[in-house]
Amino acid sequence: MPDDILYPFVAKKISIQAHNLSFLDQGQGRVIVMLHGNPTWSFYYRNLAILLQKKYRVIVPDHMGCGFSDKPKDYSYTLKTHIDNLETLLTDLDIEKFSLVVHDWGGAIGMGLAVRFPERVESLVVMNTAAFPSQRIPLRIRICRVPLLGDLIVRGFNGFARGALTMAVVNRMTPAVARGYLEPYDSWAHRIALLRFVQDIPLTPKDTSWKSLAVIAHDLKQLQNIPMLILWGGKDFCFTRHFYKEWLQRFPGAESHFFPDAGHYVLEDAFDIIAPCLTTFFQKHITE
């Protein structure tokens, strides 16, 4: 288990088609759902959950195959499946209205749910992510898609999760934080979803999740009138400034903050600056 001080939560679980999905359910009040990417898990949102649980009900799932969720070998680790799982979770918890905080793959997953039910979304927070097709993928990630070689890098050497400990941040992680990120991914079997997420990146119409992502991108216009906050790490090697600019083009009315000295894991590098931005944003848009 991660350090109790860093991650002072007891996860809950829901069964979805015979597999357990783990999630945090903290606090009371208006609901804020936080969605992580690859190769992180709910640990990425630990400080934000601690901060916001004082005034809101915070739901932070571990996508199937990630964190403390089950890691089935034979499973459809596709964008549509992750969106469906999120919908099932919120239905099971009887959550009607909610805000979304998204990062990395959480952007496509969260926006996928948002465009299905735009009337249920109260506000949106977007951090270093995309919810639209792009062929801009770093070579270091593209290599992980190569058959056999990708398996060896991602599952054999844990190169994707380990590499992110330094590549995704500007400020060096403490050993305890680094251990926390790696905790759920301690074996070949437990790294299956990390590889499947990389393989599922839709780069061309031939890719499995291309159509799902294209539909999401087309339907993003349904979210134009929902309050949005964009928080961006400027030294992200993957979701570069190009993606930031596209979000601004699609949502010109969004509040935005660019942090030039933060990396992909923007909450690790700039949390002290981001925290007041988030609390002010939510106080303005979802506090009764």
Please work out, in degrees rounded to the nearest 5, the angle formed at the alpha carbon of residue 207 by the alpha carbons of 204 and 210.
70
Mean pLDDT along residues 151-161: 96
Q: Is the pLDDT of residue 167 over 90?
A: yes
Pick left, alpha or beta for residue 114 (phi over 0 → left; psi -120 to 50 → alpha; otherwise beta): alpha
Predicted local distance difference test score (pLDDT) of residue 2? 77
**pTM of the predicted structure, to 2 decimals:** 0.97
DSSP string, the chain: ---TTT-----EEEEETTEEEEEEEESSSSEEEEE--SS--GGGGHHHHHHHTTTSEEEEEPPTTSTTS---SS---SHHHHHHHHHHHHHHTT--SEEEEEEEHHHHHHHHHHHH-GGGEEEEEEEEE-SS------HHHHGGGSTTHHIIIIIIS-HHHHHHHHHT-SSPPPHHHHHHHHTT--SSGGGHHHHHHHHT---STTSTTHHHHHHHHHHGGGGTTS-EEEEEETT-SSS-HHHHHHHHHH-TTSEEEEETT--SSHHHHHHHHHHHHHHHHHHHHT--
Mean pLDDT along residues 251-269: 98
Determine the Cα–Cα distance for residues 128 and 123; give it in Å rounded to an integer.
17
Over the stretch 219-237, which tens digit does the pLDDT of each residue have?
999 999 999 999 999 999 9
At the fourth CATH level, the homologous superfamily of domain 12-285 is: Alpha/Beta hydrolase fold, catalytic domain (3.40.50.1820)
Q: What are phi and psi of 221, to 5 degrees?
A: -60, -20
Query: pLDDT tier at 59 (50, 70, 90 boundaries)?
Result: very high
Over the stretch 119-152, which tens digit does the pLDDT of each residue have?
999 999 999 999 999 887 887 888 988 989 999 9
Mean pLDDT of the residues in the chain? 96
Predicted local distance difference test score (pLDDT) of residue 124? 98
Q: Is the pLDDT of residue 288 over 70?
A: no
Q: Is the pLDDT of residue 238 over 80?
A: yes
Q: Is the pLDDT of residue 83 over 90?
A: yes
Neighbouring C-alpha atoms within 13 Å toward the C-beta of 207 = 21
Predicted local distance difference test score (pLDDT) of residue 137? 83
Whether residue 268 contacts residue 155, with contact meaning beta carbons closer than 8 Å, is answered with no
| 169-189 b/e (C-beta count within 10 Å ≥ 16 → b) | bbeebeeebbebbbbbbeeee
What share of the chain has pLDDT > 90, as a percent? 93
Predicted local distance difference test score (pLDDT) of residue 140? 83
